[in-house]
């Protein structure tokens, strides 16, 4: 299959164009080669509920697909959902061979598409650039496997590792370019999560400016139910969704928030855990969520090992002070040997800042 590797890489590049547009569906790209090996069609899943990649690629190829090869990043679906089964389109097109990067673990597919194609006499090859396909759709795969969304963590800090001065001032640590990158990130995610302390200290809006492909729900955690009577989240709850998580004992304190348009979710437990919040967001089919801070919730996320992907902006500033806030609170590790070492780390200039991006584990 090595001769088809460049075409699969192209299909993966096409698939990535759907990032932020197709979730909770996976990103998928497809290429059609005619019998002589020339590309005659390409496509990608462009939006949730719309046609899948194979349909676009085969439609572009038309009759030239007959006897050719379909190169696709994910197993073609075989069930009726928002669109007809892609296996129907593949069989109708008359391709002789289907090359797939990875099988789809979605329960209604899970090898069924591959079986249909094989049983219909198609040559089916699976596994070309599988690791790349797995990495591309890691959030989708996690949601299917665990029922929890992929968790991003973001913070901006000074060279001496502070996210605010001793007085709590944090505007602005990072520069304009870094803030632009953060808004781009927000615009392809399903939720932005902060704790009560951040709402009280910073009164954040947590919207995407300018608007991106998604409008993330603003999520705030407050076990005590003590949230400001007046703040930007509450005043804009009817325009951009807000979910406030609290406990049953304190839910009535947020009646005003509910009256202003926020959704209040109360847990029977005595506290609000990130695990419970992520489970609820997973039930809503949220695929990617972002924890923006502050130190308390980021520390809890680190201690609970729930973060999958890190976005850290380091500004060339030094503020000092033992009382100045670090990015992560919580308990932390006891020994350096227990420290989390990020995988797949990249560094990028971001104006005057440095953007560090990496993963908690290999993807």
For 25-52, the DSSP string reads SPP-EEEEE-TTS-EEEEEE--STTS--
For residue 300, say whether it is annotated as part of any ligand binding site: yes
Q: Tell me which DSSP letter residue 254 carries.
A: G
Residue 67 gets the label, from left (phi > 0), alpha (psi -120 to 50) or beta, of left
Both structure tokens of 294? 């502050």
Catalytic residues: 54
Q: Across the chain, what does the average pLDDT equal?
A: 94
Total-model pTM: 0.93
89-98 per-position pLDDT tens digit: 899 889 999 9
Q: Is 197 annotated as a binding residue?
A: no
- How much is the pLDDT for 78? 81
> Given this model, what pLDDT does residue 159 score?
96
| Rounded average pLDDT over 59-87 | 88
pLDDT-based confidence at residue 84 (cuts at 50, 70, 90): confident
Distance CA 42, CA 189 (A): 26
Q: Are 348 and 311 in contact (CB under 8 A)?
A: no
As a whole number, mean pLDDT of residues 73-87 equals 81
pLDDT at 265 > cutoff 70: yes
Q: Which of 213, 161, 157, 204 is nearest to 185 (CA)?
A: 213
Confidence at residue 169, expressed as pLDDT on a 0 to 100 scale: 85
Is 70 exceeded by the pLDDT of residue 363?
Answer: no
Is 294 within any annotated ligand binding site?
A: yes
Between CA 142 and CA 187 the distance in angstroms is 20
170, pLDDT greater than 90: no
Q: Report, as an integer, the average pLDDT of 242-265.
A: 97
pLDDT at residue 362 tops 90: no
* pLDDT class of 244 with cuts at 50, 70, 90: very high
Tell me whether residue 202 is annotated as binding. yes
**The pLDDT of residue 178:** 97
77 annotated ligand binder: yes
The mean pLDDT of 37-43, rounded to a whole number, is: 96
Share of the chain above pLDDT 70, in %: 98
Predicted confidence at residue 319, as pLDDT, reads: 95
Q: Give the Cα separation of 166 and 10 in Å (integer).
A: 50
Asked whether residue 296 is marked as a ligand-binding residue, the answer is yes
pLDDT value at residue 7: 97
Tens of pLDDT along 101-112? Answer: 999 998 888 878
pLDDT for 230 beyond 90: yes
Query: What mean pLDDT do residues 333-361 have?
Result: 96
Residues 337-345: what's their mean pLDDT?
95
Where is pLDDT greater, at 93 or 130? 130
The Cα–Cα gap between 65 and 159 comes to 56
Residue 82 has pLDDT above 80, yes or no: no
- Report the pLDDT value the prediction gives residue 133, as an integer from 0 to 100: 97
The answer to whether 198 is a known ligand-binding residue is yes
Residue 285, pLDDT above cutoff 90: yes
pLDDT at residue 111, rounded to an integer: 79
For the chain, the residue count is 363
Q: What average pLDDT score do residues 32-48 get? A: 95
- Residue 1, pLDDT > 70, answer no
Domains with residue ranges and CATH for the chain: 2-140 (3.40.140.10), 147-359 (3.40.430.10)
What mean pLDDT do residues 227-233 have? 95
Of 143, 158, 166, 145, which Cα lies nearest the Cα of 278? 143
Strands, sheet with 39-44, edge to edge from the N-terminal-most edge strand: 39-44, 29-33, 69-72, 97-100, 123-126
Whether 228 and 198 have beta carbons less than 8 Å apart is answered as no
Looking at residue 110, what is its pLDDT? 80
Is 170 one of the annotated binding-site residues?
Answer: yes
């Amino acid at each position: 299959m090595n001769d088809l590797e460049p075409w699969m890489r192209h299909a993966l590049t096409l698939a990535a164009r759907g990032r932020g547009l197709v979730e909770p569906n996976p990103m998928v790209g497809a290429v059609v080669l005619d019998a002589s090996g020339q590309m005659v069609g390409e496509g990608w899943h462009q939006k949730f509920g719309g046609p899948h990649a194979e349909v676009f690629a085969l439609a572009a190829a038309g009759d030239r697909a007959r006897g050719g090869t379909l190169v696709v990043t994910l197993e073609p679906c075989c069930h009726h959902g928002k669109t007809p089964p892609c296996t129907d389109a593949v069989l109708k097109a008359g391709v002789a061979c289907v090359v797939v990067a990875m099988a789809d673990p979605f329960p209604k597919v899970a090898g069924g598409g591959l079986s249909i194609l094989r049983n219909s006499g198609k040559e089916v090859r699976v596994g070309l650039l599988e690791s790349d396909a797995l990495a591309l759709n890691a959030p989708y795969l996690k949601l299917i496997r665990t029922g929890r969304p992929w968790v991003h963590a973001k913070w901006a800090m000074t060279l001496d590792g502070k996210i605010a001065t001793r007085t709590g001032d944090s505007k602005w640590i990072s520069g304009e370019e870094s803030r632009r990158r953060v808004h781009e990130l927000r615009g392809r995610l399903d939720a932005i999560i902060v704790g009560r302390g951040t709402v009280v200290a910073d009164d954040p809006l947590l919207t995407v400016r300018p608007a991106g492909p998604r409008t993330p729900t603003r999520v705030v955690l407050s076990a005590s139910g003590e949230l400001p009577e007046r703040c930007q989240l509450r005043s804009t709850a009817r325009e951009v969704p807000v979910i406030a998580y609290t406990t049953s004992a304190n839910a009535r304190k947020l009646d005003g928030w509910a009256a202003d348009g926020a959704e209040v979710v109360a847990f029977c437990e005595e506290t609000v855990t990130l695990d419970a919040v992520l489970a609820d967001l997973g039930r809503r089919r949220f695929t990617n969520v972002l924890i923006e801070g502050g130190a308390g919730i980021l520390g809890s996320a680190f201690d609970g090992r729930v973060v999958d992907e890190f976005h850290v902006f380091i500004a060339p500033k030094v503020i000092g002070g033992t009382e100045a806030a670090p990015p992560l609170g919580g308990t932390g590790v006891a020994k350096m040997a227990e420290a989390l070492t990020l995988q797949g780390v990249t560094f990028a200039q971001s104006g005057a800042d440095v953007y560090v991006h990496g993963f908690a584990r290999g993807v």
